[in-house]
Amino acid sequence: MTARTLRHGRRADYQDVLSAPAHMVAEVIDGALHTWPRPAMRHAWASSGLGARLSPPFNYGDRGPGGWWIVFEPELHLGEDILVADLAGWRRERMPHYPDTAYATLAPDWACEVLSPGTRKVDLYEKRPIYAREDAPHLWLVDPLARGLEAFELRDGQWLLIASLKDEDAVSIPPFEAITFSLGDLWPDSPA
CA distance 88 to 112: 6
Low-confidence ranges of the chain (pLDDT < 70): 1-8, 192
Q: What is the structure's pLDDT at 191?
A: 72
Condensed to tens digits (0 to 9), the pLDDT of residues 76-85 reads 999 999 999 9
CA 131 to chain centre: 10
Q: What is the pLDDT of residue 55?
A: 97
pTM as predicted: 0.94
pLDDT at residue 4, rounded to an integer: 52
The pLDDT tens digits of the residues spanning 151-162 come to 999 999 999 999
Which pLDDT score, from 0 to 100, does residue 105 have?
97
Q: Is the N-terminal amide bond of 74 cis, ω within 30° of 0?
A: no
Q: Which domains does the chain have, with CATH numbers?
A: 39-186 (3.90.1570.10)
Cα–Cα distance, 186 to 190 (Å, whole number): 8
